[in-house]
A and B are shown apart, each in its own frame.
Chain A
């Protein structure tokens, strides 16, 4: 469909077309993700192939110092006079070997089975009673195995760097000039290689506290690390895609819970996002009304609730809405109701809790929309409205034909990131209702639980880490797909080069 065809559609058809094309874009985005992965792996294998080719080549053509650094790291640098650099390489090699022998290798050896010896009672010579002997700890094996794998990868990178440095040094010496001194090397770290200096600490921290835990949790999704297999008393082991099978098909209680929670998560995300957006835009427009005095006072009233920490407002709301909370007391004294309403805990009517949460969320979310749209509304060119007025457009028409399209055009990326944020909106659900009212037919979940709060309950209250990890991966796939679609369609993806 080209642009002219599109313009001739009625508003409803336009909307339907947009929705259709959004869903039509999903396979494309997945395919693009696939090609990205494919290219990544092709690049990786090509890189490895090149590495081996160069590896052999450099060894053949290199002199004695290069050849020596294939075995003793830093030899090349030492022989060219870069003493400190050479010693650092050497120390890294010694440290790596010591780490592997003393710590890494035993864990790596058990990585395939995650341990075979359970803790058990054993007869020890010289003691009358059997003694408890500690067995393998699967969790530590998995954690340190992952750590060792990462360290091996880093070491290989350092090793390659060592050979490259040696080759370069030798070439420089052969050509008759002198390699960089330590002082000069440090100076380049503040200039040409400044990115290494700046990124070193953040990369290290992200590696330790984001990448390592992430790989660890992804691996846990493929094990049976649940409440029956808790180290150090019991072992757990690899189960392949068993957890995903359980969630989707083979365990009816899991799959029933999962489908129900997934459904509510989507309903919640859609309703929460759009209710806050639409109402926020309307209030922002009201505040922007021409001739209105005291705009900043009104705006401050709304913004005040953004400024107060969210956990305070949420805990407060939960208290106000509790069974003997202020709302119930007020309604009873005013004579509207006789019995207190269980806003958040009524098991016979879970929809009441859902609606209450959505209304509270409106109270929380609308000010954010007001904050972000006020500026955009002021940026709409005034002459658009002027010409519309001359052509006889009513305020309603001006709103639907000028304001709304402009707003949606500018804020779509923000809308999608809010949507993804709402899928992962832990605070609102957890602090308001805690996932309740409870439902015995679901596995460790209540009526208002989202996928993320269910994940929390599974790990913190029930120790079902494997299920939680599998759900985490599913949530990741959902949010990554949505984000990729937006990112590919957004201007910044295409314009990144404009600045760089």
Chain B
């Protein structure tokens, strides 16, 4: 009896292993394929074997040296600049707003929060057209400065997750500091922020990743200003029907380069990310 129970468990485990292995292969295969293809020296665009028969760095070299049609290095620098600046600005503003609503009490607090929630329910790019015209009148349309402004401006509405985290930092700390004569300003910078390291890391990651991977806002705002293009737009244009045959290998190489930093950061910071989404989920 005990033996049969044991074998049954072993068989069960084996089945689970088999299913999980198959699923893992399905999920990883496209990613492996794109990495392999980026190193491939084959002639045809699409081949039926995963491992290329000729290995080469040629695609990467071409990506960075052949700037005639697609200037990938410049697009990469543009994206990096946009992501770094809007990351700094939006992290600061998200944390400031979150702290305000979590700790400070003032008359219009509830109304303010409700307005922020309702604003968040409008479909995001309903406003993009209008934003384009506004930027045009102040002379910032079709430029990366305009993109930085727009990304940072919208970010502060996403303060709810950080607010939820600040709510869990004990209030007694604030009170103790107040008794010792600290102002609200000092409490924010010297007590709450150092205590809230996980949420600071989470905010930095998300506000770096979202401009880095954004496609639609860049598409709407930059239009035909090719020298301001971000990586997402360049890669999208590479998959255009007429160009894809010529540029497919470079598209793969470019995608790998874009994905590597994000993937590395994400895998390292996974824990914070999960805390962020599930924390937000439970809190609604």
Contact = CB atoms under 8 A, between A and B. Distances in A.
Nearest to B214: A311
A187 B258 CA distance: 46
Interface residues of A, number: 101
Given A205-B153, A214-B126, A312 B239 contact: no
Interface string B32-49: 011000000000011110
Interface in A411-448: 411, 413-414, 417, 420, 424, 426-427, 430-431
B270 A303 contact: yes
A206 interface: yes
Contacts of B183: 187, 190-191, 194
Q: Which of B20, B99, B220, B259 counts the most chain A CB atoms within 10 A?
A: B20
B122 A472 contact: yes
B278 interface: yes
Given A194-B188, A213-B131, A312-B259, A199 B16 contact: no
Given A286-B20, A302-B27, A291 B130 contact: no
A390 interface: no
A315 interface: yes
Interface residues on B, range: 35 or more
A84 interface: no
B145 to A, nearest CB: 13
A308 B105 CA distance: 41
Interface in A27-50: none
Given A209-B153, A326-B47, A424-B123, A309 B258 contact: yes
Interface stretch (B55-63, B68-76, B194-202, B261-269): B261-269
Contacts of B167: 499-500
B64 interface: no
A25 to B, nearest CB: 15
B239 A318 contact: yes
B30 A313 contact: yes
Contacts of A143: 130, 133-134, 137
B274 interface: yes
B271 to A, nearest CB: 10
A302 B239 contact: no
A372 B258 contact: no
B9 A291 contact: yes
A309 B259 contact: yes
Interface in A329-384: 329-330, 333, 363, 366-367, 371-372, 374-376
A410 interface: yes
A493 B284 contact: yes
A82 to B, nearest CB: 22
B239 to A, nearest CB: 5
Given A371-B274, A372-B281, A487-B284, A315 B216 contact: no
Contact of A307 (B23, B152, B184, B266): B266
Contacts of B13: 289, 291-292
A201 interface: yes
B31 to A, nearest CB: 6
B132 to A, nearest CB: 9
Most buried by B among A194, A195, A319: A195
A479 B123 contact: yes
Contact of A410 (B105, B109, B168, B282): B282
Contacts of A371: 270, 273-274, 277
B284 A472 contact: no
B97 A199 contact: yes
A476 B122 contact: yes
B2 interface: no
Contacts of B157: 206, 210
A456 B184 contact: no
B84 interface: no
Given A305-B30, A414-B280, 12 more contacts: A206-B153, A208-B134, A211-B119, A304-B31, A304-B263, A313-B31, A372-B274, A430-B216, A452-B123, A472-B123, A479-B121, A492-B283
30 contacts: A187-B183, A190-B183, A190-B184, A191-B183, A195-B109, A198-B100, A198-B188, A209-B149, A212-B130, A214-B122, A216-B130, A286-B19, A291-B13, A292-B13, A304-B27, A305-B27, A305-B28, A307-B262, A309-B262, A310-B213, A311-B215, A311-B236, A316-B30, A320-B30, A371-B274, A371-B277, A459-B129, A472-B123, A492-B282, A500-B105
> Would you list the 10 A-B pairs with minimal beta carbon distance, nearest first?
A213-B130, A414-B281, A472-B126, A490-B284, A205-B153, A307-B266, A213-B127, A209-B153, A194-B184, A309-B213
